[in-house]
Amino acid sequence: MNICIVHRTLKTDLPKLEKELDSIKSEGVSLKHFNIDATNIEKRHHVIDTLKKELGAHEKVRTLIHSIAKGNLKPMLSDNQTFRLKHDDFQLTIDAMAISLYDWTNDLRNATLFSADARIISFTSEGSTKAWKNYAAVSAAKAALEAISRSIALEMAPLGIRANCIMAGVTDTTSLRMIPDSDILMNHSKQKNPFSRLTRPEDVANVAYLLCKDEASWINGTVIPVNGGEHLQ
């Protein structure tokens, strides 16, 4: 498959990104990228309009991968009211990390860009069912994301669309390190994991790859743990 990436990258990180993009291009695929806010309605429409023009009548979108980390990690209780979780914090987080999955899916569908056998993959976490300190807004967003993904899997199946969530184990990423006490979370994860290690980005990428294969066409509406068995205890 050719690749289109919608991302937010700081200027200081662009040289590193360009190296990664060059590496992808060296594989012989076409690559297009947009350094924009994927939650902005006008920007989303611009990306989809551009794709529609460039793909033409015959090429389609086989896979949509939704991975947006934009939200609040504020506590419900705080002496400083500025840093206390509020209604708007919930709304921003749920809009960005959950409802945007439906927005992108629906707009691509309206543009008739999905292939006859399309895959939608999004990323959830154990926080969708467990309570972690300062994670309330993201937890609510992940629960909503799973619910939206299930509904897409059910209602859009007649269009040939399959939707699944990947529930990755604790992975050492920039987003994880924004969570308070992330070091404690990583240590606890290593102790729980049957293989005594954290989940790696390539572990997650491998499952996304498998879900794109023809042989995965009968997997639909699921939440797949990708954690080496960390969820077992």
**In this structure, what token pair is assigned to residue 160?**
């040939």
Residue 132 has a pLDDT of: 85
Residue 103 has a pLDDT of: 98
The letter for the amino acid at 42 is E
SS3 assignment, position 45: helix
**In this structure, what token pair is assigned to residue 148?**
């939206």
- Closest to 222 (Cα-Cα) out of 168, 169, 143, 165: 165
**Integer angstrom CA distances of residue 136 from 67, 76, 85, 124, 198:** 19, 8, 8, 14, 23
Residue 227 has a pLDDT of: 94
Residue 35 has a pLDDT of: 97
Q: Check: CB of residue 92 under 8 Å from CB of residue 110.
A: no
- Give CA–CA dist 6/147, Å, rounded: 24
- Closest to 9 (Cα-Cα) out of 34, 37, 35, 31: 35
pTM: 0.93
pLDDT in tens, the chain (233 residues): 999 999 999 999 999 999 999 999 999 999 999 999 999 999 999 999 999 999 988 899 999 999 998 989 899 998 888 889 999 999 999 999 999 999 999 999 999 999 999 999 999 999 899 998 899 999 999 999 999 999 999 999 999 999 999 999 988 888 788 777 788 888 988 999 999 999 999 999 999 999 999 999 999 999 999 999 998 88
- Give CA–CA dist 24/180, Å, rounded: 34
Residue 174 has a pLDDT of: 81
Residue 7 has a pLDDT of: 96
Q: Which fold has domain 71-232?
A: Rossmann fold (3.40.50)
